[in-house]
């Protein structure tokens, strides 16, 4: 196992050598209370002092291997992971804006979601350490991601999902040849059950936040955004939030660059949650975490107990991030606006980030000449049922031009 990094507890600050597989700080996790976010989530840290002489281009030339907890690039899947497009959008609904807007489209990953970044790193680590079976709990995207990545690596995947997960995502998991375990319960119950299975069967667990390498995989998006903006820091990044791992990954990527002296400031990261599942945002200023049962069409960010709440909240506080909640109606509207203006069809959990941006725009909170990035995390084809309220598919016309003409006139 590589010794190029250490684990650091995000709660007590204890550093733990990476000499064996470890998921949570043993001291803090032993104090865990029921119905509370996990304690002892670990952060991966490197010898930044030894790496401080490296430039961004030198890091990019080796695909940032120096800042990843694996030793060899050939341990990764032979698929294009990351390196997704950053599109500049100059107008919406025919109206130009006085700021810069960019869309980071991570639906272009192999399994059509941002989660491939984390799955690829977990898979690479497993490959370097002779691990054959990886398990995960998921509402769909992380599961289909791990299943696809494992298929490309010849590894076995076991995926626990709520039985209510969208059929398209379950189909993906099955097509990739993974073992699907539907759970008659919600995501949190599937999560807990997958951890029990990890302990019982000795599998390697990919779960969000529980496995600290998931944050390391997701942080690569920040490296890419910085490079695609010609080594400039955006003013705002809008991020969809469920468990709090993606937003922590965004922060961690820029934090690594700060540790190396490559950048001097952090962008303002905006945490966007569905109003029907806002357990992370709603608890940011609370002394004790309180759970409100989730009810949102944005299944990928529907979480009762955010597994990376403590780290995400600490990042938002330390770097003065912002937070906003958006309704399901606003999410559906944002999905429609995005699709018809840009040609990008994104799932509701991903459209939430764009809804957050539109909320800021409509409240005149986007500064003139500012640079804004919206992180789009998954394809709309993952959940077609969610957008059905937006339209009715027309009845068929008879195959003659007169009928077509009447149809086009709305007769």
Report the pLDDT value the prediction gives residue 224, as an integer from 0 to 100: 98
How far, in Å, CA of 39 to CA of 209, rounded?
11
Residue 396 forms part of a structural domain? no
Retrieve residue 212's tokens.
């600290």
Question: Has residue 402 been placed in a domain?
Answer: no
- Residue 161 lies inside a defined structural domain of this protein: no
Give the torsion sign (CA, 401, 404, 409, 411).
positive
Q: Is 164 exposed, middle or buried (0-12, 13-18, 19+ CB in 10 A)?
A: middle
Return the percentage of the chain with pLDDT > 90, whole number.
Answer: 86
**pLDDT beyond 80 at 86:** yes
Q: What is the pLDDT of residue 226?
A: 98
Report pLDDT for 411.
75
User: 224 in a domain, yes or no?
Assistant: yes
Q: Is the pLDDT of residue 410 over 90?
A: no
282 pLDDT band, cuts 50/70/90, is very high
DSSP 8-state class, residue 403: H
Does the pLDDT at position 386 exceed 80? no
Tell me the pLDDT band of 1, cut-offs 50, 70 and 90: low
Q: Which residues pair with 134 in a beta bridge?
A: 157, 204
Is a pLDDT exceeding 90 seen at residue 383?
no
pLDDT tens digits along 11-57: 999 999 998 899 999 999 999 999 999 999 999 999 999 999 999 99
| Residue 289 included in any domain | yes
353: containing domain? 86-112+214-390
Q: What is the pLDDT of residue 138?
A: 87
Domains in the chain, number: 1
Q: Strand pairing partners for 101?
A: 372
Residue 2: pLDDT above 70?
no
The answer to whether 123 and 130 are in contact (CB under 8 A) is no
Res 139: pLDDT: 80
Tokens linked to 57:
């281009």
Q: Within a domain: residue 373?
A: yes
**Pairing mode, if any, of strands 100-105 and 86-88?**
antiparallel
In a domain, 365, yes or no: yes
In a domain, 95, yes or no: yes
DSSP 110: T
So what's the pLDDT on residue 290?
A: 95
Tokens of 146: 């791990």
Predicted confidence band of residue 164 (pLDDT cuts 50, 70, 90): confident
Per-residue 3-state assignment (H helix, E strand, C coil) for 134-159: EEEECCCHHHHHHHHHHHHHCCEEEE
For residue 277, give the DSSP letter.
G
| CATH number of the domain where residue 277 is located | 3.40.50.1100
């Amino acid at each position: 196992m590589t010794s190029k990094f250490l684990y650091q507890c995000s709660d007590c600050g204890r550093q733990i050598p990476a000499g064996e597989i470890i998921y949570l700080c043993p001291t803090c996790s032993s104090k865990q209370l029921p119905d509370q976010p996990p304690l002892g989530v670990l952060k991966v840290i490197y010898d930044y002092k030894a790496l401080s002489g490296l430039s961004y281009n030198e890091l990019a030339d080796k695909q940032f291997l120096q800042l990843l907890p694996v030793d060899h690039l050939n341990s990764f899947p032979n698929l294009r992971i990351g390196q997704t497009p950053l599109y500049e959008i100059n107008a919406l609904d025919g109206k130009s804006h006085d700021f810069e807007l960019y869309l980071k489209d991570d639906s272009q990953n192999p399994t059509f979601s941002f989660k491939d970044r984390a799955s690829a790193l977990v898979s690479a680590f497993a490959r370097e350490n002779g691990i054959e079976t990886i398990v995960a709990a998921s509402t769909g995207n992380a599961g289909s991601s791990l299943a696809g990545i494992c298929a490309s690596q010849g590894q076995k995947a076991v995926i626990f999902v709520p039985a209510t997960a969208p059929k398209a995502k379950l189909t993906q998991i099955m097509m990739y040849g993974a073992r699907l375990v539907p759970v008659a319960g919600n995501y949190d119950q599937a999560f807990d059950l997958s951890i029990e299975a990890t302990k019982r069967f000795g599998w390697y667990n990919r779960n969000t936040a529980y496995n600290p390498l998931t944050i390391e995989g997701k942080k690569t998006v920040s490296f890419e955004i910085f490079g695609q903006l010609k080594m400039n820091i955006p003013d705002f990044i809008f991020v969809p939030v469920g468990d709090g791992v993606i937003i922590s990954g965004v922060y961690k990527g820029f934090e690594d660059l700060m540790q190396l002296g490559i950048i001097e400031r952090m962008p303002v990261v905006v945490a966007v949650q569905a109003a029907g599942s806002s357990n992370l945002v709603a608890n940011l200023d609370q002394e004790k975490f309180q759970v409100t049962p989730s009810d949102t069409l944005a299944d990928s960010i529907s979480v009762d107990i955010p597994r990376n709440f403590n780290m995400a909240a600490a990042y938002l506080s330390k770097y003065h991030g912002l937070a906003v909640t958006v309704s399901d109606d606003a999410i559906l509207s944002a999905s429609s606006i995005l699709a018809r203006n840009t040609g990008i069809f994104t799932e509701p959990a991903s459209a939430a980030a764009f809804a957050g941006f539109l909320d800021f725009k409509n409240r005149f909170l986007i500064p003139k000449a500012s640079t804004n990035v919206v992180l789009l995390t998954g394809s709309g084809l993952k959940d077609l049922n969610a957008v059905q309220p937006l339209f009715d598919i027309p009845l068929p016309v008879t195959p003659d031009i007169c009928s077509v003409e009447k149809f086009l006139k709305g007769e």
